[in-house]
């Protein structure tokens, strides 16, 4: 499906049964719920999706499940890999499966070399017939791309259609990008700096925050220039946004479970499961933020 890269593109977790096999029924339910929320697309097989712990066969099965459940909703597929050839092959799998766009990033090497980063990403772009989302996320990759490198990539590779800006400080990086490009910029990091990023020129969100309808409302407030509403929403949900940003995916998967979207909060080893302390604190936080609201239903922020 055509993708505008404007709005909200939630990144989905990969649900597992307690034995760590993929729970496709929960995956379908989750995608259908996202459609109810009025998001602009979904993103699968990213960091939250534990893509680096999936087999190629599992990736293919998840892709097919997501595409079928998404209907006319665009599906962005993460195809990053530490090897250039492997990333290209994952891209071909996604294209064959019906993806709307690919999300790629670079991976850390023993010696940082921006020319090698450029060659890696350029080769992936040139091998793809789909729009590319260039993910800049040093927190997960260990790769710090300079702004001149990003500019070089955008000028060289015409199918880079969006930058997923997650390098810190993200508002300043967005402002710097805006000095030489009007390419759509989506931000991540759980919307931790969301209001600042939108104010700096961001076009929306591509992140795993477990309440995407809040981000939809924030984006609408920004596009309608209702800054009071934007900041009211941001402040109201910021404690939850902050709590979600703890390392790993266990907290976020537990929220998806509490929303009734996945059956289990299982994470694949060797990742850490949710601690009892975190579970108790999360329960208290949800009660404080939502009071008697039923979080299994779409919220009206």
Q: CA nearest 208: which of 93, 95, 30, 46?
A: 46
For residue 127, how many other CB atoms are within 10 A of its CB?
15
Q: Is 87 helix (H, G, I), strand (E, B) or coil?
A: helix
Q: Using CA atoms, how far apart are residues 87 and 101, in angstroms rounded to an integer? A: 14
Q: How far apart are CA 198 and CA 205, in angstroms?
A: 9
Look up residue 73 and give its two tokens: 């909703």
DSSP letters, 52-72, are: GGS-HHHHHHHHHHHHHHHTT
What pLDDT was estimated at residue 142? Answer: 87
Residue 11 has pLDDT above 70, yes or no: yes
**What pLDDT does 108 receive?**
87
Task: State yes or no: pLDDT of 30 exceeds 80.
Answer: yes
Burial class from Cβ neighbours inside 10 Å (0-12, 13-18, 19+) for residue 19 reads exposed
Instruction: Label residue 256 by pLDDT band (50, 70, 90).
Output: very high
| HSE (side-chain half, CA atoms, 13 Å) at 264 | 15
Task: Tell me the CATH number of domain 7-290, given options 2.40.420.20, 3.90.550.10, 3.40.50.720, 3.20.20.70.
Answer: 3.20.20.70
pLDDT tens figures, 135-152: 999 988 888 999 999 999
Which residue in 15, 8, 10 sits closest to 253, CA to CA? 15
Residue 273: closest CA among 265, 283, 282, 261: 265
* DSSP conformational letter for 212: H
Across 46-75, average pLDDT:
95
Reported as a single tens digit per residue, the pLDDT across 175-228 is 999 999 999 999 999 999 999 999 999 999 999 999 999 999 999 999 999 999
Residue 53 has pLDDT above 70, yes or no: yes
Q: Provide the CA 169 distance to its chain's centre, in angstroms.
A: 18
Express as a percent the part of the chain with pLDDT over 70. 100
| pLDDT, tens digit (0-9, with 9 covering 90-100), for 64-91 | 999 999 999 999 999 999 999 999 999 9
C-beta separation of 75 from 106 below 8 A = no
Q: Is 5 left (phi over 0), alpha (psi -120 to 50) or beta?
A: left
User: How confident is the model over 240-262, as a mean pLDDT?
Assistant: 96
């Amino acid at each position: 499906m055509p993708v505008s890269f404007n709005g909200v593109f939630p990144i989905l977790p990969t649900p597992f049964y307690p034995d760590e096999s993929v729970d496709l029924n929960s995956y379908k339910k989750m995608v259908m719920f996202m459609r109810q929320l009025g998001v602009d697309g979904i993103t699968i097989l990213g960091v939250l999706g534990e893509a680096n712990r999936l087999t190629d066969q599992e990736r293919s099965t998840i892709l097919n499940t997501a595409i079928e459940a998404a209907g006319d909703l665009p599906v962005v597929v993460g195809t990053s890999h530490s090897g250039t050839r492997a990333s290209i092959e994952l891209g071909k799998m996604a294209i064959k499966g019906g993806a709307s766009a690919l999300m790629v990033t670079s991976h850390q090497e023993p010696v940082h070399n921006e020319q090698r980063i450029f060659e890696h990403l350029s080769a992936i772009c040139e091998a793809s017939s789909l729009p590319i989302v260039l993910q800049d996320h040093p927190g997960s990759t260990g790769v710090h791309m300079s702004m001149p490198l990003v500019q070089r990539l955008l000028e060289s590779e015409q199918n880079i259609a969006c930058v997923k800006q997650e390098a810190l400080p993200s508002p300043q990086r967005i402002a710097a990008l805006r000095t030489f490009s009007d390419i759509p910029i989506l931000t991540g990091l759980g919307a931790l700096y969301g209001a600042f990023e939108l104010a700096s020129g961001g076009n929306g969100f591509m992140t795993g925050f477990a309440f995407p309808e809040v981000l939809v409302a924030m984006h609408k407030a920004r596009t309608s220039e209702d800054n009071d509403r934007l900041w009211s929403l941001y402040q109201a949900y910021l404690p939850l946004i902050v709590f979600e940003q703890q390392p790993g995916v266990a907290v976020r998967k537990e929220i998806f479970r509490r929303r009734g979207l996945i059956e289990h909060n299982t994470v694949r080893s060797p990742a850490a499961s949710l601690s009892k302390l975190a579970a108790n604190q999360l329960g208290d936080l949800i009660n404080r933020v939502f009071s008697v609201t039923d979080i299994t239903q779409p919220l009206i922020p």
